[in-house]
Structure 1
Amino acid sequence: MKRRIITTGDGSKTIQIEDWNEQYHSIHGAIQEANHVFIKHGLLFFIENFQNRGPIHILEIGFGTGLNTFLTLLKSGETKTQIHYTGVEAFPVKEEEISQLNYVKELKANAELFSELHDSSWEIQQDITDIFKLIKQQKEFKDIEDKDSYDIIYFDAFGARVQPELWTEDIFKKMFDALKINGVLVTYSAKGSVRRAMQAVGFKVEKLPGPPGKREMLRAFKEA
């Protein structure tokens, strides 16, 4: 399928799959969306409400351009929070595409850190900083078998319009099982079918205001 780099509404770039008319991030703003959905309503919400003294374990579905990972890494440094991060991706983004993304420039961040995220080996945990550990796993989401392992899940799969098989009860049951008690799952989606699939497997689900260009998003909890 044909892919191209496009500029989103906040000036940050993303990858568009032309045959699907689908992007890795919101056309209204890649960085804005990631910060709103995953950092504000995921990571920072968890830190404020549930964090204990140990590291926070995060699972990302899927790793993609590394934007969510990079923002989490930067926030880890700002908040002095230990994070163990697992990024799952079935089809890793190519190096020539990564080189065209402008997240380092837009965020005025350390280019070496962004490179480390992408240059690190797959399937091996890497210490990106002294408080941020990363492991990238190349596999399909249906093959995730973790149990009670994560505090937060960033559910950032391609939309249900183009990949409905990623937004089913079967997939969300795997997400529910992978979370610890009081774990949180956040996603940009607010579709009724997605919310119902989450609720069917045991999640408590709430709607929140969405990022620019989107009215709502979902946050789900695995309660005791």
Structure 2
Amino acid sequence: MQEDRIKRELQFTADGSHTLFVPSINEHYHSVNGAVQESKHVFLEAGLHHIQKGPVRILEIGFGTGLNAFLTLQDVEQNNNHTIDYFSVELYPLDMETVQSLNYGEVIWPGHKDLFHALHAAEWNTPVKITGNFSLHKIEGDGNTCELPTDIDLIYFDAFAPEKQPEMWRRSVYDRLFTCMMPGGMIVTYCAKGAVRREMEAAGFEMSRLPGPPGKRHMLRGIKNKR
């Protein structure tokens, strides 16, 4: 997928929140069955809410619309239960015109649209303090090759589907992620394909198949066992 040919179309999902559709690969950034519902279910409810320590270091593969980061920021600010160092890798950042068309500020956290825009306006490749509890470090690069942060507690694996972005769903990527994690760290993804589960297990994760968000039967969660 080359940046110069990426066309993105704004679409509504079943819960009233936006997603982006990429016609060239026939793929959505988020589930049409509910973008916000999916992200909350997979990344917060099955991931963040199971981390019993603080501060938490999160690595997201695929910053995309910023939805997962914004939901995490909201969760931290409203519950005051963690301090978050949030890292995110993205090869094709959105332009601000597209960002401003997304309705997450209104739908998710009315009155805090400025924080959603601040996530996207934050400088790349350097840590930026968004709030007292949330630091963002966006890495512009390819998750296969760019330098990844270390001592990660939780990985949001949110690349495009394996059939659309196969280079992100392979053993070498899972090996890199396993290496950068703390013992006891966790990885969560919306994808539940058997091949993905087996390759993540081969990389060292103890995998579980969990109930999926609306429109999906299952999702995956992996743990880096303490040894």
TM over 0.5, shorter chain? yes
Check if 1:94 corresponds to 2:95: yes
How far has the Cα of 1:144 moved from its partner? 4.0
How far has the Cα of 1:171 moved from its partner? 0.5
Match of 1:135 in 2: 137
How far has the Cα of 1:179 moved from its partner? 0.8
SS of the aligned residue for 2:47 comes to: helix
Instruction: Answer whether contact 1:151 1:179 (CA < 8 A) is retained.
Output: yes
Spell out the pairing of 1:37-56 with structure 2 (5 A cutoff).
37-46=42-51, 50-51=52-53, 54-56=54-56
Instruction: Answer whether contact 1:145 1:174 (CA < 8 A) is retained.
Output: no
How far has the Cα of 1:145 moved from its partner? 4.0
Distance in 2 separating the partners of 1:107 and 1:146: 29
Distance in 1 separating the partners of 2:49 and 2:146: 25
Q: TM-score, normalised by structure 2?
A: 0.93
Spell out the pairing of 1:82-161 with structure 2 (5 A cutoff).
82-109=83-110, 110-146=112-148, 148-161=150-163
SS of the aligned residue for 1:141 comes to: coil
Distance in 2 separating the partners of 1:60 and 1:146: 11
How far has the Cα of 1:93 moved from its partner? 1.0
Instruction: Answer whether contact 1:148 1:181 (CA < 8 A) is retained.
Output: no
From 196, 199, 203, the counterpart of 2:198: 196
1:58-96 per-position Cα deviation (integer Å, ceiling 9, x unaligned): 000011100000000001112211000001101101111
Aligned amino acid, residue 84 of structure 1: D
How far has the Cα of 1:2 moved from its partner? 2.8
How far has the Cα of 1:148 moved from its partner? 4.3
Unaligned runs of 5+ in 2: 1-5
Identity of aligned residues (%): 44
After TM superposition, where is structure 1 displaced by more than 2 Å over at least 4 residues in a row?
144-148
> Is the alpha carbon distance of 1:99 and 1:119 closer, same or farther for their aligned partners in structure 2, counting shifts above 3 Å?
same
Match of 2:3 in 1: none
How far has the Cα of 1:108 moved from its partner? 3.3
Q: TM-score, normalised by structure 1?
A: 0.95
Match of 1:79 in 2: 79
How far has the Cα of 1:146 moved from its partner? 3.6
Instruction: Answer whether contact 1:38 1:154 (CA < 8 A) is retained.
Output: yes
Unaligned runs of 5+ in 1: none
